[in-house]
Chains A and B, each alone.
Chain A
Amino acid sequence: MAEVVAVIASTHHPFYYKASTAPPDEAPPFAAEWVRKVEAFRETLTAANPDVLLMVGSDHFHQLWLDNMPQFLVGHAEEYDANWYNEQREFGLPRMHMKGDRDLSGHILRQGLDSGFDLAFSNELRIDHSVTCPIITLRPQNDLPIVPVYTNIFAPPLPQPTRFVDLGRALRRFVESWDSDQRVAIIGTGHLSLELGGPRQFGPHGPDPEFDARAVEWIASGDVEGCLAEVTLDSLHAPGNATHGFMDFMLMMGAAGDGVKADYVDTYDLFHTMEAYFTWYPKGASA
């Protein structure tokens, strides 16, 4: 059976690409330390030596729209084009192209449908920065096939937080029941406290540093129970109006396992939002 060689949860910050590729005299003052942290984080994936990346993110009103909105969707394509005009325009993100793994996609779909997750699917999916940001940060050579999984953290009505955790647990099981010798890394990106288009946006740090500190502790310690006891769809409005993206971190906590401490934890307090990076090695040390 396939092996989950790493579970990785990260923020996805679309400004990283521009900050990390700007000439030194044009780079923002926080860029050098940011690059150092991201490159250290990247090592945690490299060390796991994966063959395939199962990537959890969320479409930001690119291909998925309010006339036909799935809650959870699995990409089921041979290949994926990536990044959109408005991401080039606002963030300077390049057009990208990834190979898919339809065998793993089909396995996840079948397993989901047979175990209480009526997953939507797409045979032609142009993916966005929620998936390409972690390619850029964690696997810039972009040489591995991916299976994208999109969650709706964006267009209410949203699934409950517990549903995200349950899907994370299920994805872990699905990968581990895949009849394959492939080494799979499960990578998911979300947000800590975040405000977009509201009065608290683009402050000197994230809109709710106290929430961020609690969130990092929940994730780092694998405290799924404590997190679920406090986080509700309503409560996530308080730290910032885009904080429902935290539910993708909760999904990754489910994938990592209840009570399982992260093997690698790092954060970086930036303007607008806090960066956070976590890696678990299910079989212990990465090798």
Chain B
Amino acid sequence: MSRYLVDKFLFTVDRDPELVERYREQPVETVRWWEETQANLILSCHPDEASTWMAFTDAERQALATHDHVALFEMGAHPFLTLTLFIAMFERDYDEPLGYQMWYGRQLAHMSLPYPDITT
């Protein structure tokens, strides 16, 4: 379980306009590239000081590579990070105002309290 790393992916992609588009269009390639080259970077540090030990589980890699926001919720990815990034990628595909956000919530209708822990 590498909940922190999933959050780190969502966080670093969400803040970069080019990465947002790349992840929307090429999710498998983006997740693979990110895990290979970005996952271990400490964000405020020189690349030579990168961490050496972080990797996704298969389930996490699969959830990210398939844009599966339900699976991400179920594994405790921070819901604000997932929502913000996914709105950026997919709101444009819906005609009605907030149409995507409503659909996004409906896909999670089976979830009941307590929600999965998001503590990192």
Contact = CB atoms under 8 A, between A and B. Distances in A.
B72 to A, nearest CB: 9
Closest A-B pairs by Cβ, 8 of them: A197-B79, A197-B83, A199-B108, A156-B119, A202-B101, A201-B105, A199-B109, A196-B80
A198 B82 CA distance: 10
A241 B119 CA distance: 13
Nearest to A66: B120
Contact of B115 (A155, A202, A241): A241
Interface stretch (A42-50, A83-91, A221-229): A83-91
Would you call the interface of chain A mostly helix, strand, loop, or mixed? loop
Nearest to B69: A197
A90 B88 contact: yes
Contact of B102 (A28, A60, A202, A237): A202
B118 A156 contact: yes
Interface string B104-115: 111011110111
Given A90-B87, A242-B79, 15 more contacts: A61-B11, A61-B78, A62-B15, A66-B11, A68-B44, A85-B15, A154-B80, A155-B78, A155-B120, A198-B73, A198-B115, A199-B105, A202-B98, A202-B101, A271-B98
Nearest to A238: B113
- Interface-centre pick from A66, A156, A157, A199 (highest chain B CB count, 10 A): A199
Nearest to B17: A85
B101 A201 contact: yes
27 contacts: A28-B97, A65-B11, A66-B8, A66-B120, A67-B42, A67-B44, A68-B44, A85-B15, A86-B84, A86-B88, A90-B84, A90-B87, A155-B78, A196-B79, A197-B69, A197-B73, A197-B83, A198-B79, A198-B105, A198-B115, A199-B108, A199-B110, A200-B105, A201-B104, A202-B101, A202-B102, A238-B113
B111 A199 contact: yes
A8 to B, nearest CB: 25
